């Protein structure tokens, strides 16, 4: 399996990309990740109660995924490609555990959590596909192995499964606790009709 992982990595890893390709790779590997929390915040402002429940479900799953990812890295430390002199590293990165990818664990757990609610299922699928682009870019830039991404998908699904029992009672209760603070902080935009109460 390790040989397959390394061979696949070398097949994807960029060898001699030009400046424009490197810039695009950096954006897809790091910059595109910010789209996901931005989506959560922007969607909350315009969502009804079911939509907000789905967003909260996704955030809960993402938090669980980050905890699981950290735990796996502590129990079984797998080095990144550049730590073993494999391929070419095009993006600075600390020598932390490679498996599973924290970025993709977060992304795919967020998507899987939202997909538990029908109101966000379609957009969750589209965001998960964007996650594939991030996953490819992080391998292409030389900071992850392909199997790190498969591990992240498994962690994301597991995190969503762990938080699934909370969706009918606890998630709506959390939303109801958060909404008064939200209405106080966004009182003026709500009055203007720019965001939903």
pLDDT digits (tens, 9 = 90+) for 158-167: 999 999 999 9
For residue 118, which of 53, 46, 195 has the smallest C-alpha distance?
Answer: 53
Q: Which residues contact 132 (CB under 8 A, 6 or more apart)?
A: none
pLDDT single digits (tens) 61-110: 999 999 999 999 999 999 999 999 999 999 999 999 999 999 999 999 99
Report the predicted TM-score, pTM, of the whole model to 2 decimal places: 0.92
Task: Identify the residue whose tokens are 């129990």.
Answer: 75
Confidence tier at 185 by pLDDT (50, 70, 90): confident
Higher pLDDT, 181 or 128: 128
Domain boundaries of the chain, sorted by first residue? 49-89+96-180
Task: Note the pLDDT of residue 151.
Answer: 97
- Percent over 90 (pLDDT), the chain: 85
Distance separating alpha carbons of residues 144 and 12, to the nearest angstrom = 11
Q: Which residues contact 5 (CB under 8 A, 6 or more apart)?
A: 145, 146, 147
Average pLDDT over residues 168-184: 90
Distance separating alpha carbons of residues 52 and 154, to the nearest angstrom = 25
Grouping H, G, I as helix, E, B as strand and the rest as coil, residue 80 is coil
pLDDT, the chain, mean: 94
Token pair listed for 194? 């720019």
pLDDT at 187 over 80: no
Task: Note the pLDDT of residue 78.
Answer: 95
pLDDT single digits (tens) 7-26: 999 999 998 889 999 999 99
């Amino acid at each position: 399996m390790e040989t397959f992982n390394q061979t696949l990595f070398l097949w994807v890893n960029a060898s001699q990309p030009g400046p424009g390709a490197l810039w695009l790779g950096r954006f897809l590997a790091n910059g595109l990740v910010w789209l996901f929390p931005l989506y959560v915040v922007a969607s909350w402002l315009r969502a009804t109660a079911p939509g907000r429940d789905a967003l909260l479900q996704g955030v809960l799953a993402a938090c669980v995924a980050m905890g699981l990812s950290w735990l796996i890295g502590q129990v079984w430390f797998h080095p990144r490609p550049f730590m073993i002199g494999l391929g070419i590293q095009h993006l600075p990165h600390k020598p932390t555990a490679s498996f599973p990818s924290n970025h993709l664990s977060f992304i795919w757990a967020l998507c899987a959590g939202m997909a538990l609610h029908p109101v966000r299922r379609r957009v969750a699928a589209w965001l998960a596909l964007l996650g594939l682009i991030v996953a490819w870019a992080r391998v292409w830039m030389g900071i992850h192995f392909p199997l790190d991404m498969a591990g992240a998908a498994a962690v994301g699904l597991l995190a969503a499964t762990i938080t699934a029992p909370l969706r009918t009672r606890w998630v709506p209760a959390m939303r109801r606790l958060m909404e008064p603070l939200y209405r106080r902080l966004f009182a003026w935009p709500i009055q203007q009709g720019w965001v939903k109460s």
